[in-house]
Amino acid sequence: MAIQRRAVLAAAVLAAPGVAVAQAFPARPVRIIVPFSAGGPTDAIARFVAQQLEAAWGQSVVVENRPGAGGSTGSAVVARAAPDGHVLLVTANSHAINPSVLRSMPFDTLRDFTAVCRLADAPFLLVAHPSLGVRTLPDFVAAVKARPGQFNYSSAGHGTGNHLTMERLKQIAGLDIAHIPFGGAAPATTALLSGQVQALVNNLVNSLPHIAEGRMVPIAIGSPDRQAVLPDVAPFAATYPGFLSMNWYAAFGPAGMAPALVQQINAAMARAVRVPSVADRLRAQGISPAGGPADVFGQEVAAEVTEWAQVTRAAGIQPE
C-alpha cells in the first residue's frame, strides 16, 4: 500500500501545473538572444552561461547576437517567442532604461517578459580628469558648485546608464555641469583622457587601466560597498544614502512562462555564474556573480523602470 501511495503522489506531482513542463525542459536546443554586438560584457556573460548550461543540460545552447535600436531589436525576438524556455534573452540594465528614453518600442518591457535570473552586477564609477584636483565625491561636488556651468561630463550616449547616473547625481547634489554625449564608451573615455571634459561615469573594468596610469581619478563607485579592485574609493551612498548605480546583466524569457520552469532555469543559471572558472573571470573584470529568486529580480526591474522614468522627467530628457 505504501508503494502504491508513493506512486499516486508521484503521478500527482508530475501532473501539477508547470512541473511537467519544467521536467521536460530542454526538449531541443536553447537559443540565448543577446541584443548587442559580440565582444561586449553582455555577450561574454551570455557565452559563459551558455557553456555551463550545455554541460548541465546535455543540450545545445546557442548565443545569437541581434543588435539594434538600443537593444530593442533582439529583445523583440524573445518577446514574440513561445514561453517554453527555449528562447531566452540575456541583456543589461538598459532594458529598464529604454522605456524612458526610446520613443517607440515593439514590446512592453514589463508586460511582455518574464524575469528569469539576475546573472551579474558591475558598478558604475565616477571618474574625473586629474586637472580637476579632486579625489572624493564631496570634493567633486564642492568643485562643481564653486564654478557652476563651467564643467562638462561625457557619456556613452543619450539615455545610457552612465548618462542617467550623472543626471541623478546632478539632481541630488544640485550640480550645474553640462552633458556631452558620444557614440559609445570608448570616445566618451577619450574625451575625458584628453581633458575635453572633466568627468565621466564609466564602466569599472574600462577605467582600471587608465586609473593605474594616473590618467583619470576615481571619485565614487555605484556599488553598496567598497570594491576590492578599488578599496580606497567610497560608494556614492557614503555621501548620498541609497544612491546606487549598478549595471546588471540578466536573463529574461517571454511572458507567460510557468513558475516551475522559471525556477529551474534560474537555478541552473545561478549555478553557472558561480562555477569557479566563470566567477574568477568575471571578478577579474570588476563584475560580481549575482543570482537570487526570479520574482525578487522582477520586482527590482519594475522599480528601476519607475525610477529611471522619474530621473529622465526631472532632467527634461525627451525620448528619441
Burial class (CB in 10 A: 0-12, 13-18, 19+), 190: middle
Same domain? For 156 and 233 the reply is: yes
Identify the domain boundary among 238, 265, 293: 238
CA distance 115 to 251: 7
CATH classification at residue 206:
3.40.190.10
What is the per-residue pLDDT for 296? Answer: 97
Same domain? For 114 and 151 the reply is: no
Same domain? For 99 and 159 the reply is: no
pLDDT of residue 5 exceeding 60, the answer is: no
Same domain? For 228 and 281 the reply is: no
CATH classification at residue 108:
3.40.190.150
C-alpha cell at 60: 545545445
How do residues 116-173 score in pLDDT, each as one tens digit?
A: 999 999 999 999 999 999 999 999 999 999 999 999 999 988 888 899 999 999 999 9
**Domain for residue 10, yes or no?**
no
**Domain for residue 75, yes or no?**
yes
Residues with Cβ within 8 Å of 84's Cβ and at least 6 positions away in sequence, in order, are 21, 25, 257, 261
Q: What DSSP string describes the chain?
A: -HHHHHHHHHHHHHHSTTHHHHHH--SS-EEEEESS-TTSHHHHHHHHHHHHHHHHHTS-EEEEE---GGGHHHHHHHHTS-SSSSEEEEEETHHHHHHHH-S--SS-TTTSEEEEEEEEEEEEEEEE-GGG---SHHHHHHHHHHSTTS-EEEESSTT-HHHHHHHHHHHHHT---EEEE-SSHHHHHHHHHTTSSSEEEEEHHHHHHHHHTTSSEEEEESSSS-BTTBTTPPBGGGTSTT---EEEEEEEEETT--HHHHHHHHHHHHHHHHSHHHHHHHHTTT-EE----HHHHHHHHHHHHHHHHHHHHHHTPPP-
Same domain? For 211 and 263 the reply is: no
Cβ-count burial 104-126 (b if 16+ within 10 Å, e if not): ebebebeebbbbbbbbbbbbbbb
How do residues 183-235 score in pLDDT, each as one tens digit?
A: 888 899 999 999 999 999 998 878 999 999 999 999 999 999 998 889 999 99
Same domain? For 72 and 156 the reply is: no
Domain that includes residue 146, residue range:
123-238
Q: Residue 26: is the preceding peptide bond cis (ω within 30°)?
A: yes
Same domain? For 308 and 255 the reply is: yes
What is the per-residue pLDDT for 17? Answer: 46
* Radius of gyration of the CA atoms of the chain, in A: 22
304: β partners: none
What is the per-residue pLDDT for 156? Answer: 87
Same domain? For 140 and 117 the reply is: no
C-alpha cell at 104: 517607440
Q: In this prediction, what percent of the chain has a pLDDT beyond 90?
A: 77
Same domain? For 131 and 232 the reply is: yes
Contact 63/280 with Cβ under 8 angstroms?
no
Identify the domain boundary among 238, 261, 291: 238
Q: CA-based diameter of the chain, in Å?
A: 84
How do residues 103-124 score in pLDDT, each as one tens digit?
A: 889 999 999 999 999 999 999 9
Would you say how long the chain is, in residues? Answer: 320
**Domain for residue 7, yes or no?**
no
C-alpha cell at 216: 583619470
Identify the domain boundary among 203, 238, 273: 238
**Domain for residue 4, yes or no?**
no
Same domain? For 79 and 112 the reply is: yes
**Domain for residue 9, yes or no?**
no
Same domain? For 149 and 50 the reply is: no
CA distance 163 to 157: 7
**Domain for residue 304, yes or no?**
yes
**Domain for residue 3, yes or no?**
no
Same domain? For 31 and 115 the reply is: yes
**Domain for residue 6, yes or no?**
no
pLDDT of residue 40 exceeding 90, the answer is: no
249: β partners: 92, 120
| The pairing of beta strand 113-128 with beta strand 199-203 | antiparallel
Q: How many domains does the chain have?
A: 2
